[in-house]
């Protein structure tokens, strides 16, 4: 623990503290003499500093907070996992509605009781954008309930949560505090004065007081008399109680019997000033005062008083000089502070003690006088034997009544080592009797004392002396249970437990529960786990489970596991699925997953999905690919495919390829042609082309056309001319010709020449004379003339009549005096052309 000394103006001091055991803890603020002003004090709880009060915490305390729904409506933009808290009366029907506004993902919610047991879940298992999920439940038991909201994978957006059907402004006890406010502050909504101090809860809060603590009092000394209604009642206690001095007069009351005396001590722990105290009667008369009238820091005042008559008496504590600090107040009874109850006291109370011999045999060392006390009835014969085990010296003993009169003595007045003395007494009257043992000559060693003949006069199975020791009489009956620990008084006697203490050995477990569950009520065994269910005995008690049965409700899940995950270890809840991961509680237990976390290993895949698909739900295997389909486990989950089947829909295409290509891996779409490129999806898969892109290699030729014409759809070969017809592949595609055939239409004219001269490369037009020059298209090709220009060389002679159609010459002599007319000229030119060789291979 750390702190800060001398915290000056505008400075902040802090310290952290984690308690090792449950209980109430205190902190103290010291103010020096000269300090003036005010300070802000903040205490954060152990979970976070979100300002959520501890009383709002439940199973959901591991989350950021449990938001309290006073008005029944809550909106948030934080899509983590949240718990929302509201309170209802008995038999209240509630309706929960969650409306999501999401850009992606979905939401879930469920209703839980304060033990974390799911009561209802959303009608919509995945509430996406614009949808509303609802759940309705009639809550039979009044109290606090919770709504847990969690998101699907990587959700983004906001939601509105509304709970209707309960009154948020009800005030069951009429103390001015709404029930909701009472739950927040931990006060009793059915009791207007929770701490029973006479001031209503709402008034205490208005005055800045604590409505759960009845120790804040102003001066009650009025007109010389005590205001008995405000005095703090205290028992006869031997241990000090530490009280923060309130800066006013404080009164304490105590009931005394006639002739009973008390000793009061006050130990001061003041930073400044001093205290005084006294013992008063009900009229305000001081009966005894402190021996120190100004008890300063570290000093102790003492006052003693013996009551002349039975009644209520008062201790008043007041201050001097503006005192600041606290004090320890202790009240001892008139005999001593050894914790023996007053009803056991008599004449021998002035001595050290009267030891009770429960088993009728006692061993003790030798320190002065020892007294042993028992109860017997008139006519009983009591035999006492004392066996000495001494190093030196001797012992003697006698039997006495309550008036300290010796009734019988030992037959040996100096019992030395290994000797035994005896005494017998016929009991004259009902009552207590005592054995007094004393030593001779500075004796050292031990002895055994045995008392026989003590009876159970009321025949209830409990010896008289045991009843008198604990109950100051034999009025108790065996079936009774004085301390309410589920052990009868007779069972307390038989088990050796304390009939006035619920928990004899203070291990947190009632004696009755321990006995009925075969534990040892006399040994602190709270931390043991005899059934090895990971739940200690104390945990078993808290959860009402069997500490000797690892699975109390026989549902296949160990008690400790169920408690750890806020399931019900007393009911078969194997089929429940509180985290909605499609894995029931028993399966979660078998697979070591958390029933409160839909994704135990935080790999993005629900536990149930992983188990169904034989993955490991407690190891992050989201990136693995067991079926080698180029799709990770996480992607398989997102796509709905089988992580152990490379082709979930059995259409011949792997899941990864389909997902990456934008196809459906869950439907047989092998024959479909998504991109209309004349290739089916399965063909695209086999070729490696993109089924969503008609031209995978971006060469302006569809994949299907390329494949159909033996080209490469994965390489840009648009400019290539594999058939050497002077027409590129792209030109072939555009002209619908065959890129592997130079003359697609078989008319002896190459495709490229036809395309370049405006002819049809896919139709035999070789015999056509497109320009009416007396030459067919084929002859034009052979003569290298233009099939669309009747006078290619523009010499005034038609190509069909021109012996040199590519040489411009209008002189007939230049044409060798050959006059070609009509069919004769065509035949002659054709003959000349046919006989003309093409030595240079240029088609001319």
What is the tens place of the pLDDT at every residue in 451-497?
777 777 667 888 776 776 676 566 666 678 878 888 999 999 999 99
Give the integer Cα–Cα distance in Å for 147 and 142: 16
Q: What is the mean pLDDT of residues 810-826?
A: 44
pLDDT tens, position by position, 396-440: 999 998 778 899 999 888 999 899 999 999 999 988 788 888 888
State the average pLDDT for the chain.
77
Q: Is residue 63 predicted with pLDDT exceeding 60? A: no
Separation CA 28–CA 305 (nearest Å): 33
Per CATH, 54-168 and 342-471 having the same topology is answered yes
Lowest-confidence region among 350-354, 366-370, 614-618:
350-354
Q: By the 8 A CB rule, do 311 and 256 touch? A: yes
pLDDT of residue 266: 82
pLDDT at 718 over 70: yes
Lowest mean pLDDT among 178-187, 346-355, 721-730, 765-774: 346-355
Banded model confidence at residue 59, pLDDT cuts 50, 70, 90? very low
pLDDT (0 to 100) of residue 2: 44
Q: Residue 641: what pLDDT?
A: 95
What is the Cα–Cα distance from 127 to 123, expressed in whole angstroms? Answer: 9
Nearest to 92 by CA among 142, 52, 56: 142
Compute the average pLDDT of residues 225-231: 40
Q: Kindly state the helix (H) or strand (E) to which residue 320 belongs, with its residue range.
A: strand 311-333
pLDDT of 807 higher than 70: yes
The residue extents of the domains of the chain are: 54-168, 221-333, 342-471, 777-835
Q: What pLDDT shows up at residue 345? A: 37
Residues linked to residue 385 through DSSP beta bridges, in sequence order: 422, 450
DSSP label of 127: B
Task: Decide if pLDDT at 76 tops 60.
Answer: no
Q: How confident is the model at residue 53 (pLDDT cuts 50, 70, 90)?
A: very low
Helices and strands, counts by H and E, the chain: 17, 25
Residue 534: pLDDT band (50, 70, 90) is very high
Listed range (17-31, 103-117, 132-146, 342-356) with the worst mean pLDDT = 342-356
Higher pLDDT, 335 or 224: 335
Residue 433 has a pLDDT of 83
Distance (Å, whole) CA 64 – CA 83: 9
- Place 537 in a pLDDT band, splitting at 50, 70 and 90: very high
Of these ranges, 223-227, 496-500, 626-630, the one predicted with the greatest mean pLDDT is 626-630
Q: Which structure tokens are listed for 210?
A: 């604590």
Q: What is the mean pLDDT of residues 369-383?
A: 80
Nearest-angstrom CA–CA distance, 116 and 563: 10
Give the DSSP letter string of 3-40. --SS--TT---------SSSS---------TT--S---
HEC states along 550-584?
CCCCCCCCCHHHHHHCCCCCCCCCCCCCCCCCCCC
pLDDT at 270: 78
Of 526 and 312, which is predicted with more confidence? 526
Residue 573 pLDDT > 90: yes
Average of per-residue pLDDT across 69-96: 63
Confidence of residue 810 (pLDDT cuts 50, 70, 90): low
**Whether the predicted pLDDT of 709 surpasses 80:** yes
Q: For residue 490, how far is the Cα from the chain centroid?
A: 44
Contacts of 142 (CB under 8 A, 6+ apart): 87, 88, 89, 90, 92
Beta bridge partners of 397: 437
Residue 152, phi-psi category: left (phi > 0), alpha (psi -120 to 50), beta (remainder): beta
pLDDT at position 579, please?
A: 93
Q: Which of 548, 550, 382, 395 is nearest to 451 (CA)?
A: 382
Residue 319 has pLDDT above 70, yes or no: yes
- Bigger pLDDT: 16 vs 661: 661
Strands 250-256 and 232-233, how do they pair?
parallel
More confident residue, 518 or 188: 518
Q: Give the contacts of 577 (CB within 8 A, at least 6 positions apart).
A: 583, 584, 585, 595, 608
> Region 660-682: what's the mean pLDDT?
92
Residue 677 and residue 680: Cα distance in Å, rounded?
A: 8
Residues 616-645, mean pLDDT to the nearest whole number: 95
Position with higher pLDDT, 238 vs 134: 134
Cα separations in angstroms, 231 against 201, 210, 217, 490, 711: 19, 17, 8, 38, 106
CATH topology of domain 54-168: Jelly Rolls (2.60.120)
Of 18-27, 279-288, 423-432, 779-788, which range is least confident? Answer: 18-27
| Nearest Cα to Cα of residue 587 among 605, 610, 604, 620 | 610
Predicted local confidence at residue 764, as pLDDT: 92
Dihedral sign for Cα atoms in the order 191, 194, 198, 201: negative
CATH of the structural domain 221-333, one choice from 3.30.70.1150, 2.60.120.380, 3.20.20.70, 3.40.50.920: 2.60.120.380
Encode 268-286: b = buried (16+ Cβ within 10 Å), e = exposed.
bebbebbbbbbbbbeeeee
Greatest CA span in the chain, whole angstroms? 183
The residue among 189, 148, 196, 154 whose CA lies nearest residue 172 is 189
Alpha-carbon gap, residue 755 to 812, rounded angstroms: 34
User: From CA 201, how far away is CA 171, in angstroms rounded?
Assistant: 12
CA atoms within 13 A of residue 620's CA, in its CB half-sphere? 5
Q: Report the distance separating Cα 246 and Cα 127, nearest Å.
A: 56
Range name among 243-252, 292-301, 356-365 with the lowest pLDDT average: 356-365
- What gap in Å lies between CA 660 and CA 658, rounded to an integer? 6
Q: Say which CATH class 342-471 falls into.
A: mainly beta
At 672 the pLDDT is 92
Alpha helix (H) residue ranges in 159-262: 179-185, 201-206
Identify which of 3-17, 151-165, 193-207, 232-246 has the greatest average pLDDT: 151-165
pLDDT band at 552 (very low <50, low <70, confident <90, very high): very high
**Stated pTM of the model:** 0.45
Residue 19: pLDDT above 70?
A: no
pLDDT of res. 670? 92
């Amino acid at each position: 623990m750390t702190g800060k000394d001398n915290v000056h103006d505008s400075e902040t001091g802090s310290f952290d503290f984690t308690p090792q055991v449950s209980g109430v803890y205190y902190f103290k603020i010291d103010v020096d003499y000269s300090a003036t002003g005010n300070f802000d004090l903040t205490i954060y709880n152990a979970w976070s500093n979100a300002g959520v009060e501890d009383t709002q915490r439940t199973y959901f305390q591991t989350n950021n907070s449990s938001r309290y729904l006073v008005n029944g409506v809550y909106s948030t933009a934080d899509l983590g996992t949240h718990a929302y808290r509201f309170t209802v009366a008995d038999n209240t029907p509630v309706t929960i509605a969650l409306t999501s506004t999401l850009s992606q993902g979905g939401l879930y919610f469920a209703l839980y009781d304060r033990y974390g047991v799911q009561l209802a879940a959303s009608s919509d298992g995945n509430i996406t954008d614009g949808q509303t999920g609802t759940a309705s439940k009639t809550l039979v038991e009044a109290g606090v309930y919770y709504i847990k909201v969690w998101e699907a994978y990587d959700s983004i957006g906001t939601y509105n949560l509304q709970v209707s059907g309960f009154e948020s402004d009800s005030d069951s006890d009429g103390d001015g505090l709404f029930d909701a406010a009472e739950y927040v502050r931990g006060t009793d909504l059915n009791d207007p004065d929770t701490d029973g101090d006479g001031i209503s809860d709402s008034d205490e809060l208005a005055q800045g007081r604590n409505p759960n603590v009845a120790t804040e009092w102003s001066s009650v000394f009025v007109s010389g008399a005590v205001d008995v209604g405000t005095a703090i009642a205290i028992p006869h206690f031997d241990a000090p109680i530490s009280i923060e001095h309130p800066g006013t007069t404080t009164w304490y009351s105590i009931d005394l019997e006639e002739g009973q005396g008390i000793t009061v001590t006050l130990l001061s722990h003041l930073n400044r000033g001093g205290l005084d105290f006294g013992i008063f009667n009900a009229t305000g008369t001081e009966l005894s005062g402190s021996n120190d009238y100004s008890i300063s820091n570290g000093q102790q005042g003492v006052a003693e008083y013996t009551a002349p008559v039975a009644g209520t008496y008062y201790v008043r504590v007041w201050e001097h000089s503006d005192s600041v600090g606290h004090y320890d107040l202790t009240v001892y009874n008139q005999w001593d502070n050894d914790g023996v109850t007053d009803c056991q006291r008599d004449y021998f109370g002035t001595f050290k003690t009267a030891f009770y011999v429960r088993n009728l045999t006692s061993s003790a060392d030798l320190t002065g006088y020892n007294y042993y006390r028992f109860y017997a009835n008139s006519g009983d014969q009591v035999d006492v034997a004392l066996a000495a085990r001494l190093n030196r010296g001797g012992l003697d003993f006698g039997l006495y009544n309550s008036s300290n009169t010796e009734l019988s003595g030992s037959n040996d007045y100096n019992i030395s080592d290994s000797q035994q003395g005896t005494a017998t007494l016929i009991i004259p009257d009902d009552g207590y009797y005592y054995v007094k043992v004393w030593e001779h000559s500075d004796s050292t060693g031990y002895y055994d004392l045995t008392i026989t003949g003590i009876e159970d006069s009321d025949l209830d199975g409990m010896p008289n002396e045991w009843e008198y020791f604990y109950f100051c009489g034999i009025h108790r009956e065996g079936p009774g249970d004085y301390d309410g620990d589920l052990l009868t008084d007779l069972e307390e006697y038989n088990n050796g437990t304390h009939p006035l203490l619920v928990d004899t050995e203070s291990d947190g477990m009632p004696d009755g529960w321990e006995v009925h569950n075969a534990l040892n009520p006399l040994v602190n065994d709270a931390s043991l786990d005899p059934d090895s269910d990971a739940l200690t005995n104390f945990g078993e008690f808290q959860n009402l489970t069997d500490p000797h049965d690892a699975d109390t409700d026989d549902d296949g899940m160990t008690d400790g596991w169920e408690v750890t995950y806020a399931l019900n270890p007393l009911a078969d809840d194997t089929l429940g699925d509180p985290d909605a991961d499609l894995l029931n509680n028993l399966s979660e237990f078998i697979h070591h997953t958390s029933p409160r976390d839909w994704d135990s290993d935080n790999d993005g895949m629900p536990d149930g999905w992983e188990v169904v698909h034989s993955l490991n739900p407690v190891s992050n295997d989201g990136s693995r690919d067991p079926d080698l389909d180029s799709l990770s486990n996480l992607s398989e989950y997102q796509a709905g495919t089988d992580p152990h089947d490379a082709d979930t829909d059995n259409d011949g295409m792997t899941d990864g390829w389909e997902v990456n290509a934008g196809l459906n891996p869950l439907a047989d779409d092998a024959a479909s042609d998504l991109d209309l490129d004349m290739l089916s999806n399965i063909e695209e898969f086999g070729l490696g082309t993109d089924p969503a892109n008609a031209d995978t290699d971006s060469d302006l030729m569809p994949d299907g056309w390329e494949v159909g014409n033996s080209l490469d759809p994965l390489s840009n070969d648009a400019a290539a001319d594999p058939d050497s017809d002077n027409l590129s592949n792209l030109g072939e595609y555009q002209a619908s010709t065959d890129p592997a055939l130079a003359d697609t239409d078989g008319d002896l004219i190459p495709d490229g020449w036809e395309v370049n001269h405006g002819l049809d490369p896919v139709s035999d037009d070789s015999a056509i004379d497109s320009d009416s020059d007396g030459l067919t298209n084929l002859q034009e090709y052979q003569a290298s003339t233009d099939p669309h220009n009747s006078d290619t060389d523009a010499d005034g002679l038609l190509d069909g009549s021109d012996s040199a159609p590519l040489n411009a010459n209008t002189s007939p002599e230049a044409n060798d005096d050959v006059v070609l007319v009509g069919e004769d000229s065509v035949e002659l030119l054709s003959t000349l052309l046919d006989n003309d060789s093409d030595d240079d291979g240029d088609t001319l």
